[in-house]
Structure 1
Amino acid sequence: MTGAGFPARPLYLVADLGGTTLRAGWARAGDLAVSGVRRVAVDGIARFPGLPAGELQARVVDQLVRLLRECSRSAPCTPSALAVAFAGPVGRTGTVVDAPTVWGPRGPELPLARLLGREFGVPAVVLNDVTAAGWRYAAPEGGEDDYFCMVTVSSGVGNKVFRNGEVLLPEDGRGGEIGHLKVDFAADAPWCDCGERGHLGAVASGRGALRAAGVLARRFPGVFARSALSAASGGDPGRLSAEQVAAGIRSQDAFTVRAVAPGVRYLARTLATLHIALGVDRFVVMGGFARAAGPPYLRLLGEEMAKAGDFLLPPAGAAGLLRPGAPDDDDGLIGCLRLLERTHSSRGSSPRPAVPVTGTS
């Protein structure tokens, strides 16, 4: 009991493990924000591209446990439960099926929820990161107008559709796989982290945009030399970063926009297909790359959606459908918190997700 005889609110540990950044913190039920947030670069394939998947998996799991331990020690009391948003396919029981952007293709399956539950001695939920983010934006009690699609553009590309406060996934959680739709059928199409060529994630993600900018810079060195990207990288395409490419989009640098245009076009056509097929009337665009690229990125995406010939577009065009995610980096963390609040009683019973929490990105 606390205060004037009121029971203490449960405290939760939450983490968001993406292809580039690992975030973790703690929060009490009902909090509007997550406290004590720590962010570190993921010890995965982006940092150690030459290591085998099994070794990368062990590194990432150790890193996750260490960071959650640090957050637990900084919290004011013992956590009641924990949840982790994960950038990859996750089975209903919290088993990570694959993680192309984290430890590459063909990694062994990982019963992460069971491992974390044993490690911390509390109920643990593991779910896909885009699904987790969607719980931040879904209305607590649903509603007829609560129909939207989460779209992430970060290390990879993924989506989830929410309606009336629930994520639209079947029992086995299949869905939200747009990042692994083949869109480029050229023999030399870029490789996706999953090991296949020409997937949407390979051309439209932050990593795909960086790759495209490097290719264009080497093909047209004179044009590159006059660009904002050249100034940012010291004239060396090999020193470019995804952050610099995002900044180039934000400043509407002509070379950068030209470089990323094919990937934006493929993504726009895919979203237009979802809109005309499902009638979803709101796309919340999140992810580190999309957030860093800012409003000019959404404008480019909307312009390309309009060109796709979607006759269901509202009078305002595709711009009326596209909404930016929150300006912070906490979608997965706050989404995990909201899910735990939905599924974990004040008595400390085990979280019981009412919907499948699987999916991919």
Structure 2
Amino acid sequence: MSGDGSPARPVYLIADLGGTTLRAGWARAGDLTVSGVRRVAVDGIARFPGLPTGELQARVVDQLVRLLGECSLAAPRSPSALAVAFAGPVGRTGTVVDAPTVWGRRGPELPLARILGREFAVPALVLNDVTAAGWRYAAPDGGEDDDYFCMVTVSSGVGNKVFRRGEVLLPADGRGGEIGHLRVDFAADAPRCDCGERGHLGAVASGRGALHAAGVQARRFPEAFARSVLSAACAGDPGRLSAQQVAAGVRGNDAFAVRTVTPGLRHLGRTLAALHTALGVGRFIVIGGFARAAGEPYLRLLGEEMTKASGFLLPPSEAAGLLQPGAPDDDDGLLGSLRCLERSGSPGAAVSRPALPADSTF
């Protein structure tokens, strides 16, 4: 019983594991707030680029278990269930199929839900991070207001998920919505994606892709770079630039920064235009650390590229209305996972739902 005599509400563990940052905390059933959130750099390919995939998998799992354990100790009572948003395609059985931004080249599939369920002895929900984010923005009743919207993330990688009336459009193996691995640059020296292939959308349009492009352009056009705010931000050394600095340059309409990200934006705009014209998606919610840091100028430029690709099907007056920024925080994966956990009918859940998304499991 709680202090006021009412039954104590169950507690959940919630985590969001991205390509760069791992976030974790705890929440009470019926309260869509994640408390005690801790943030750490992921022990993946970004920190340890030379390690084999299997070793990176082990490091990441150990780190996730450790951080969730710390959150469990900080929670008011033992958890009844847990949910993890993961940066990569996740099958219906809670198995991570692939995770290029986390551990690079493809390794063995990872039964993460089973591992976490065994470790914490509670039901474990594992779902793709962009899918999780979508549940934050989906209408509670999945009604007319939800008739087609697309989550788009531009962060360590690029990804998407399409939602329609309370359902995410995914096959059972969770492979849908991975536009970041669509090949858009067929040049022999195209930027290499974290998955190991060249020319993927994620390699040219993500935050990591923008940082790579900035370094290339800085060395190719040193005088233009010297006049840029990016040069001032890194003391003239392109090797010290960060993706966040490139994004800040775009937000400030710095000419060099804008020119740097334009090729990637063009490819992303064409891809989203294809989704709009093929499926009739009428709303794109753009999230992710890089897009959030680049702000309104980034969305405006992206809308212009969508218009160029769509022709008369998407006039300039309509493009701006299609693109919406996500919330000004980095809690999409956490809050979306919690909401999905509540909707799934987990122990103590406030809202029941007949079926889980295609890329999740208990």
TM-score by length of 2: 0.95
8 Å contact 1:101–1:155 — kept in the other structure? yes
8 Å contact 2:21–2:39 — kept in the other structure? yes
8 Å contact 1:272–1:310 — kept in the other structure? no
Give 2:133's aligned residue: 133
Residue 247 (structure 2) pairs with residue 246 (structure 1) = yes
User: Matches of residues 189-200 of structure 1 in structure 2 within 5 Å?
Assistant: 189-200=190-201
User: Matches of residues 279-358 of structure 1 in structure 2 within 5 Å?
Assistant: 279-313=280-314, 316-347=317-348, 353-357=355-359
8 Å contact 2:218–2:225 — kept in the other structure? yes
8 Å contact 2:185–2:200 — kept in the other structure? yes
Distance 2:40 2:65 in 1: 13
Once the 2 structures are TM-superposed, how far is the Cα of residue 329 of structure 1 from its aligned partner? 0.6
Which structure 2 residue ranges, 5 or more long, are not aligned?
A: none
Once the 2 structures are TM-superposed, how far is the Cα of residue 248 of structure 1 from its aligned partner? 0.5
Equivalences, count: 358
What is the CA deviation profile of residues 182-206 of structure 1, one whole-angstrom value per residue up to 9, with x for unaligned ones?
Answer: 1001111000111111000000000
Once the 2 structures are TM-superposed, how far is the Cα of residue 315 of structure 1 from its aligned partner? 7.0
Q: Where in structure 1 do 4 or more consecutive aligned residues deviate above 4 Å?
A: 345-353
1:291 counterpart SS class: helix
Once the 2 structures are TM-superposed, how far is the Cα of residue 348 of structure 1 from its aligned partner? 7.5
Give % identity: 81
Give 2:172's aligned residue: 171
Give 2:270's aligned residue: 269
Once the 2 structures are TM-superposed, how far is the Cα of residue 353 of structure 1 from its aligned partner? 4.5
8 Å contact 1:123–1:351 — kept in the other structure? no
Q: 1:332 to 1:306 in 2, by over 3 A?
A: same
Once the 2 structures are TM-superposed, how far is the Cα of residue 356 of structure 1 from its aligned partner? 0.6
Q: Which amino acid in structure 1 is aligned with residue 133 of structure 2?
A: A
Give 2:38's aligned residue: 38
Distance 1:7 1:310 in 2: 59
What is the CA deviation profile of residues 289-347 of structure 1, one whole-angstrom value per residue up to 9, with x for unaligned ones?
Answer: 11111111111101111111343336732110000011011000001100110113455
Q: Which amino acid in structure 2 is aligned with residue 104 of structure 1?
A: G
8 Å contact 2:90–2:173 — kept in the other structure? no
User: Matches of residues 1-361 of structure 1 in structure 2 within 5 Å?
Assistant: 1-2=1-2, 6-146=6-146, 147-313=148-314, 316-347=317-348, 353-357=355-359
Q: Which amino acid in structure 2 is aligned with residue 317 of structure 1?
A: E
1:245 counterpart SS class: helix
Distance 2:150 2:234 in 1: 35
Q: Which amino acid in structure 2 is aligned with residue 39 of structure 1?
A: R
Distance 2:173 2:55 in 1: 28
Distance 2:33 2:166 in 1: 20
Which structure 1 residue ranges, 5 or more long, are not aligned?
A: none
Q: 1:157 to 1:315 in 2, by over 3 A?
A: closer
Distance 2:99 2:172 in 1: 21
2:310 counterpart SS class: coil
Distance 1:73 1:153 in 2: 33
